[in-house]
Structures are given as structure tokens and as C-alpha cells.
Amino acid sequence: MTNVKGIVAKKIGMTRMIDGKGQMIAVTLLQIEKQKITKVLSKSRDGYDAYQIGYFEKKEKGLCKPDIGRLRKNGIEDNFSRFVEVRLDNEAASLEVGRILDTEVLKGVMSVDVTGITKGRGFTGSVKRWDTACGRMSHGSRFHRRPGSLGTRTTPGRVFHGKPVPGHYGVEQVTIQNLGVVDLDSDHSLVALKGAVPGHRNGYLLLNPSIKSK
């Protein structure tokens, strides 16, 4: 497909496969569900070239009115409730609103960059959250896994922004680069990627051709 390089996929789970060299490798299976281009952005009008993907259908009563009006105005009858933009390096004028995206986008792609939301780990300490150093593990130590002193002297007399402290760990956007495409099943809309990807099972990910692919 001309100019199309990004697609949304749902994480099914992990399994193992035998690669071309006869080695057993761990792979992640992704499902390409129904999705369409719902908007095309141009540099002259919006300041950059991109296209918007609509996915995750709901009942119409579950959508907000602005999304319903925007979809119907563009002639899209599907009730997509989630949207993501994919930036382009060139003009996106050849893209059409309403075009269906499927596994054809990944045809010939050897590796991809996967962007998703990591699993939530809850409230954790600074050692697990930021991998900070811990105190002695010997008997009598009162600083096994505590963060230690946070403040400084009278000047500046405050804790600087960005100090590694305990807090909510996970649920942040990360990108795993250059994951190899092991298999592509167009009949069942499945993609097998080498290794692990961020997020929980049934979570949605954005796939783009890798910028580091040789």
C-alpha cells in the first residue's frame, strides 16, 4: 500500500516457533483486527504529514458525539472508539479516508518497531522502580531497600525534580525497536514477532517498519 507504514495489532500471547535455521525461538503472536484510515493530515493544513487509524469498535451509544459526527462526515459507518496517528515523511495525498488496513501493510517488512503501554506494577519502591542502590543486607542494617536521604543542605533546601523515589511503576508508553517478523499469516490476520513486546494480553500495539533495519 502506497505511503502506509503503520498498523495497529492486538497482542494474543507468546509461543515458540522454529526459525529458518532450525532453532527454537520465542515469538509473540499479534492479531490484526478491523481498522481503517479515518483522517489524513497534510503539512499545508495541519503542519505535518500523517494519517489517523481508527480501531476497536463499540456500539454507537458507547461513542462520544464528536467522534460519531467526525466518522459519519467522512463516510465511515464503523463505530471506532480508539484512534492513533502515524507520521509520514512525505506527502499523504495519495491516501484515502476509509481505506482498510490489513496484513498487506507488513508484506516485505523484515523487522518492526513496536510501541505499546507497559503492564502496571502498582506502587513500588525506588529499588525496583528505578534500580537504585540498596544498603547492606547484613544483620543490623536499617537501610536494606530504602531510598536513603532525598534532600540536600540548606541551599537549595529542596528535593530536585526527577529524583528516583517510590511511586506508581509501569503503565507508560515504550517502544521496542527492531523486532524481527518471523511469520505473516494473511488468511488469519496473524503476525509472529521474535521476542517479547510491551503490554498485557489483549492489549493494542502500534507497528512501524524498523528505522534500524539493515
- In the chain, where the domains are located: 7-119+175-209, 120-170
Q: What is d(CA 25, CA 8) in angstroms, rounded to the nearest whole number?
A: 24
Of 68, 73, 48, 57, give the one whose Cα is nearest residue 8: 57
Residue 169 reports pLDDT greater than 50: yes
What would the CATH number be for the domain defined by 7-119+175-209? 2.40.30.10
pLDDT at residue 117, rounded to an integer: 97
Kind and range of the H or E run holding 171:
none
Answer whether 5's CB lies under 8 Å from 208's CB: yes
Of 34, 18, 118, give the one whose Cα is nearest residue 78: 34
Which residues have a Cβ under 8 Å from the Cβ of 50 and sit 6 or more positions away?
Answer: 40, 41, 85, 86, 87, 88, 92
pLDDT at residue 1, rounded to an integer: 44
Beta bridge partners of 57: 80
- DSSP-derived 3-state class of residue 91: coil
Residue 147 reports pLDDT greater than 90: no
Q: Which residue in this structure is represented by grid cell 537504585?
A: 132
pLDDT at residue 155, rounded to an integer: 86
- 8-29 pLDDT, tens per residue? 999 999 999 998 888 999 999 9
Amino acid identity, position 66: P
pLDDT at residue 153, rounded to an integer: 84
Residue 106 phi/psi, 5-degree rounding, is -95, 5
Tell me the whole-structure pTM to 2 decimals: 0.86
- 45-104 pLDDT, tens per residue? 889 989 999 999 999 999 999 999 999 999 999 999 999 999 988 765 578 899 999 999
